[in-house]
Amino acid sequence: MDTTERARLIRAGDRRALARAITLVESARPDHRAEALALLDALRSGPQALRIGLSGTPGVGKSTFIEAFGLMLTAQGLKVAVLAVDPSSARSGGSILGDKTRMERLSRDPNAFIRPSPSQSQLGGVARRTREAVALCEAAGFDIVLVETVGVGQSETVVAELSDLFVLLLAPAGGDELQGVKRGIMEMADLILVNKADGDLKAAAMRTVADYAGALHLLRRRPQDPEGFPKALPVSALADEGLTQAWDEIQTLVAWRKAHGHWDRTRATQARHWFQEEVRQGLLAALTREPQKGLMTSLGDRVAAGDLTPEAAATRMLELLGRGR
């Protein structure tokens, strides 16, 4: 199938063509990479979906929340794509867990598309090509793309760089103590949702919401935040409570950012970031091929032996790369 036909099918909303295209962008084969780049170029102009990054502490019920939230959105006639990044084996680089088995009702919804992606052992567990998968889902006409992280390491930072807004999902904390959430992750959050606000945990959830609302107020107010944001809200994915309010707050935030130019500026900044990231990845890949690989090994051996400083060796390597050797 040629690129033009593949692009036509994706724009027409063909799910099989979309799934195959995502497989194509995830492939490391050089011929597949060339096809993927041509396809992405053919699809670069088109509608923009709302990209929502979602992370959460272990056991918070991310999959339950995504399914309940996704079903609420599809019931409104919206098309929702979920790019769920699974825990992967560092040896195989493949997916262990199938998100479709964790989101069975959503996976059967005709207005939803769920795609677990292998992490390929990248820092933070986020698939390197997730950004390209997001672009493909946008081209296929999805209104909302949810990107779930594994919730460890620096994956949140990566997802924040490809999302329009970042949602942090937390569980009710014991007593009035804040959970051990890194300040940097909290500072990235546009919305904090405390899940499991039902039954015996409802009171604890409300206390946690109050604690985080106070912490957010003390942390900062960013230029891209209207008055009152970021917010902390209680939700119950199990009882379908608080989901509509969360969606209303998201829409309010998006509308304000678009009206004040923050949306376009953020998208432009992210595009520049990913251009630079692709250059970095390309340079690193070049170092794994001969003759650069041999030079790297040789210089590394000299550094290990104490004959060269790391700085001098790196300068030498970069000079050689600059001359195209």
Q: What is the residue-level pLDDT of the chain in tens, covering all 325 positions?
A: 799 999 999 999 999 999 999 999 888 788 998 999 999 999 988 788 999 999 887 788 888 999 999 999 999 999 999 997 654 433 344 443 455 567 889 999 999 999 876 555 554 335 567 889 999 999 999 999 999 876 555 567 778 888 999 999 998 975 444 555 666 777 788 999 999 999 999 999 999 899 888 888 777 677 778 788 889 999 999 999 999 999 999 999 999 999 999 999 999 999 898 888 888 877 887 888 888 889 999 999 999 999 999 999 999 988 888 776 5
Q: Report residue 199 CA to chain centroid gap.
A: 31
Which pLDDT score is estimated for 12? 95
Note the pLDDT tens digit of each residue in 277-314. Answer: 888 877 887 888 888 889 999 999 999 999 999 999 99
Which phi-psi region, left, alpha or beta, contains residue 89 (left: φ > 0; alpha: ψ -120 to 50)? beta
Query: Residue 117 forms beta bridges with which residues?
Result: 85
Which pLDDT score is estimated for 51? 96
Which pLDDT score is estimated for 59? 81
CA distance 80 to 110: 10
Which pLDDT score is estimated for 320? 83
Output DSSP code: residue 49. P
Which pLDDT score is estimated for 251? 97
**For residue 223, is the peptide bond before it cis, meaning its omega torsion is within 30 degrees of 0?**
no
Which pLDDT score is estimated for 223? 76
Strands (E), the chain: 50-56, 80-85, 112-117, 144-148, 165-170, 191-194, 231-234
Q: Which amino acid is at 242?
A: G
Radius of gyration of the chain (CA): 22
Q: Which amino acid is at 228?
A: G
> All domains of the chain, ordered by start, with CATH?
1-45 (1.20.5.170), 46-260 (3.40.50.300), 287-322 (no CATH)
249 in Cβ contact with 233 (< 8 Å): yes
Both tokens assigned to 143? 């209104």
Which phi-psi region, left, alpha or beta, contains residue 125 (left: φ > 0; alpha: ψ -120 to 50)? left
- Of the candidates 172, 137, 166, 140, the one whose C-alpha atom is nearest the C-alpha of residue 151 is 166
Which phi-psi region, left, alpha or beta, contains residue 308 (left: φ > 0; alpha: ψ -120 to 50)? beta
CA distance 14 to 21: 11
Q: Please report, for residues 144, 161, 260, 268, 276, the alpha-carbon distance to residue 188 in angstroms, rounded to integers and kept in the order given.
A: 20, 10, 19, 18, 21
Which pLDDT score is estimated for 161? 84
Q: Which residues contact 193 (CB under 8 A, 6 or more apart)?
A: 65, 167, 168, 169, 170, 232, 233, 234, 235, 242, 246
CA distance 7 to 9: 5
Q: Which amino acid is at 288?
A: T
Please give the full DSSP string across 109-177, using - where no structure is assigned: -TTEEEEEE--TT-GGG--TTHHHHHHHHHHTT-SEEEEE---STTHHHHHHTT-SEEEEEEPPPSTTP
Entry pTM? 0.85
